[in-house]
Amino acid sequence: MQYVSTRGQAPAQSFSQILLGGLAPDGGLYLPVEYPKVSGAELDAWRKLSYAELAFEVLKKFATDIPQEDLKALAHKTYTAEVYRNARAGEDASQITPLRVLEEKDGKKLVLQALSNGPTLAFKDMAMQLLGNLFEYELAKEHSELNIFGATSGDTGSAAEYAMRGKKGIRVFMLSPHKKMSAFQTAQMFSLQDPNIFNIAVEGVFDDCQDMVKAVSNDLEFKTRQKIGTVNSINWARVVAQVVYYFRGYLAATTSNEQKVSFTVPSGNFGNICAGHIARMMGLPIDKLVAATNENDVLDEFFRTGVYRVRKSAETYHTTSPSMDISKASNFERFIFDLLGRDAERVRALFRKVDTHGGFDLSGKPGSDGDEFKNVAQYGFVSGKSVHADRIATIRDVQASYGVTIDTHTADGVKVARENLTSGVPMIVLETALPAKFNETIREALGRDAERPAGFENIEGLPQRFDVMAPDVEKMKAYIASRTGL
């Protein structure tokens, strides 16, 4: 399988060739030349598989240049009950992503898919643990090293650092917006003392961090000399790993391939729901893909109007679902590439316009950049928005009605999912994190602290190690170079 850039000016590459990188050399994102298809017979066979076995079956369709026995070993090393041990009471950790039916009435079913049982209590572990093992495998083959440079609004950073700590030949440089994550998220990252982990708190918002990552990635000479790679969701391997749990959720919620399900996904950077789009393109019987945003509603605005309007840093709200405080969705370009019939020249022009004019318009109205918004429905996308009052009310209601405490981002998902329920089609909400990561808001909603898995009782009290920096690309490059010796 070969991979091409959404902007059409980079040579086709194999899975292993793009594994350690992020953006393509032309600034685009990689996608397979065509999506592999999954047959009904395969879906039937996959119903009996463990999560690790299912992961191997999905991955081997994309990573065709890695020997299958090696890929299988990596999947089985990653997806174990020991790694995903933080299951809630009543959940089977061996299922890795167990389903829980929240409500079922009038033919409508609302289901929660647990994705936060990994080491950092967030769904990012589902892909990041695999990525760490894939990176180590590939670097060992090449006798090489890698400097991971990434940005986080909360959960990607800790998931990456926990997956990469102690890995041979890997350093992690992780940017996060200074004082804009929850206390738990901050402590989870900054308390790590491993010598290969570098935390940089940027004076700004997540989009400032993300812009710096892209700027460094676009400096091809620096990127090559410093052996820069990425773990953000622009990394194709991470998106592929997330495709697996859509298949798992579907197979666990249905008994026949004639049935459909919908997924609601709390979304800021469009990486998680992009994996759902890919699963649907592969043939998974998904009815709707529901993007749930918070007050930073760039994606909701697009899926309602066809206008993609990026907000500036000063217009980005700091909310109680902070991992979605994003106003420029990195992965959105992958969907736009498909929406435009894979016309790389138009994609290139539209995202140049994002840089120069702050967005583009596909509504089809006079003066717009195209009329492809009319085709969005055929890809299953709808959207909705949830604000602070909504998430507080939803956390309270789910606790009172079902005895389940959910985090703030998952609450955004449940609120929007309820607005899009269809009779006869189970709605699966992808859980984003365990509530302990956002204890300040849980306390506001429920008047008590969220339960914490063993080992996380006093994490905020641990010593923290981090550097504060202005959003200055040249200073960031100097920081990296001084710590790599390259």
pLDDT reported for residue 240:
97
**What dihedral angle (degrees, nearest 10) is formed by the CA atoms of 375, 381, 382, 388?**
-140
* CATH class of the domain whose range is 93-120+240-446: alpha beta
Evaluate if pTM is beyond 0.85. yes
Q: Is 482 exposed, middle or buried (0-12, 13-18, 19+ CB in 10 A)?
A: exposed
Provide the annotated active-site residues: 124
Low-confidence ranges of the chain (pLDDT < 50): none
3-state SS assignment for residue 3:
strand
Length of the chain measured in residues: 486
Nearest-angstrom CA–CA distance, 324 and 299: 11
List residues bridging with 383 in a β-sheet: 291
pLDDT reported for residue 486:
66
Query: Which residue, 32, 45, 34, 27, is CA-closest to 4?
Result: 32
pLDDT reported for residue 59:
98
Read off the DSSP letter of residue 361: E
Domain spans of the chain? Answer: 93-120+240-446
Tokens of 207: 């989009």
